[in-house]
Amino acid sequence: MDNTENYNADESVAELSKENSNVSNQLIIYVDESGDTFLNNYDDSSKDYYVISAIITTEESSELYKDAAKHIVSKYAHPGELKSSSIGDKSKRRKEVLKDIREKEFLHYSLVVDKTLIWKDSGLRFKPSFYKFLHDMFYTRIHRTFFGIRVIADWFGTTEFMSGFSDYITNKNDLFEQSEFESSKKEPLLQIADVVAGSIRRVFNGQDSNDLIRMLNYSSMSIEKWPPSPSSFYTGKTGNQNDRFNDLVRTIAIQSARKFVENNLNSELEEMKMKAQCVRYLLYRYYENPKGYVRRGEVTEHLNSLHGCNYSPHSLSTKILGPVKDDDVIIISTDKGIKIPFDTSDIEEWVSRVDSQVVPYLKRLSLVRKLFIDATDAKYDIVEKDVFPDLLDYLNY
């Protein structure tokens, strides 16, 4: 699925948040997943996604949600279990099920993980790390809006997923009020979560058309993709020139950064590995907050702890950032810090800084040069061609 947007459920979430202000009205989420965590060797045409979905209710509304789920399960799977894998390629049947899910207005949130964008040598190649990282992202996102979460998950789903989930929530007592595992055969809302997760994954994997997502694109749904591709940051709706240029900035900046990392992360030269790790860190920070700047001290701390070295912010600029920029990676620097550019405003801010620093130097240099040329009848040029050829080109431009 290309150019996938993040669908927000702010209004519905706000309504449930108001309900949840009553302490006795606890939030209950029913969680299931689709796909596995294995990182394959992908080519450019590969698609492989892992999806976690939650059906979100409150204690007060849970019985109504359960009754609605029972009705859908009975309609399409009686006397068995409603599962996305059982629907399979029957697109007409899947659309009918999703239409009923939409009409019942189940509030749900899904995290879609593009495994092809995860570096194969990253810590996420280890399943415990993969689960811990994704669980933290998934539940923290929900917890930003709600407090007092009770989680119900399908124990008979992926055993490794449930094991990772159990380990995670054991260490997150501040996040969860209660957790339990149920058989999806006994809990219809888990079956709804299964269908939602499986359907979203089929669309992203290219097995079904985008129509399925459009069917679920209403105020009760939120889908978040990770890692975000440049297109997922594109918010322009008007199609005007500024929107297109913003999209262009994101695309070129991310592609150049990722290309550099992929080409140099496994280099035999330690300095190239350091440069790749630096760009990689900036990419991750970009994905967390594309508008935010990163202090040089944070980058040096990351590299020093990773490689046991002793870089200073100054050496970072001269030995790492400078050569990386010379290799066509777009990293902008301002008084706020450094970052991969997000839009044209980032580029303009950086150009403005260059203009304020470089142009005055060139003007002063040009003035002094002219004074000596005039005083010596052009016999003495302080910017000699053989010594400063690049600088002379700029002065004579």
Cα 368 vs. chain centroid, distance in angstroms?
A: 51
pLDDT at 1 over 70: no
| Identity at 15, one-letter amino acid code | E
pLDDT per residue over 113-128, tens digit each? 888 877 666 667 777 6
Is residue 231 a contact partner of residue 3, using CB atoms and an 8 Å limit?
Answer: yes
The ranges assigned to domains in the chain are: 10-227, 241-342, 347-396
Half-sphere CA count of 291, side-chain side, radius 13 A: 4
Is residue 230 a contact partner of residue 223, using CB atoms and an 8 Å limit?
Answer: no
Measured between alpha carbons, how far is residue 351 from residues 70, 346, 348 in Å? Answer: 60, 9, 5
The reply to whether the predicted model has a pTM over 0.85 is no
Q: For residue 163, what pLDDT band results from cuts at 50, 70 and 90?
A: low
pLDDT of residue 95: 93
Specify the CATH number of the domain 10-227: 3.30.420.10
Tokens of 217: 């694109």
pLDDT per residue over 268-294, tens digit each? 888 898 898 899 888 878 876 788 899
Taking 3-state DSSP, the helix, strand and coil percentages for the chain, each rounded to the nearest 5, stand at 55, 15, 35
Residues 213-224: b if buried by 16+ CB within 10 A, e if exposed: bebbeeebbbbb
Is residue 282 a contact partner of residue 257, using CB atoms and an 8 Å limit?
Answer: yes
pLDDT of residue 8: 40
Query: What distance in Å separates the CA atoms of residue 273 and residue 245, rounded to the nearest whole number?
Result: 32
Cis peptide before 230 (omega within 30 of 0): no
Average pLDDT over residues 44-68: 84
Give strand pairing partners of 29: 56, 151
pLDDT per residue over 180-229, tens digit each? 667 778 899 999 999 999 999 999 888 988 878 777 754 456 777 777 66
pLDDT per residue over 355-383, tens digit each? 999 999 999 999 999 999 999 998 999 99
